[in-house]
Amino acid sequence: MHLRTRWLPIIFFALAGCGNETELPQAPTLFVDREALTFNREFERGTYVGQTAFNSLAIQNRGLDPLDITAITLSAPREFTLQFPEGFSPGTPLRLETYDRAFLEVAFRPTDDTEYSGTLTIESNAGNGAQKVITLNGLGVAP
Domain boundaries, the chain: 26-141
CA-nearest of 57, 59, 47 to 108 is: 47
Structure letter (DSSP) for residue 44: G
Which strands, in side-by-side order, build the sheet including 30-32?
Answer: 30-32, 53-61, 101-108, 80-83
Ranges of residues in the chain with a pLDDT under 50 are 20
Q: Is pTM, for the whole model, over 0.85?
A: no
The CATH number, out of the four listed (2.60.40.1890, 2.60.40.10, 1.20.1050.10, 3.40.50.1820), of the domain defined by the range 26-141:
2.60.40.10
pLDDT, tens only, 43-52: 668 899 999 9
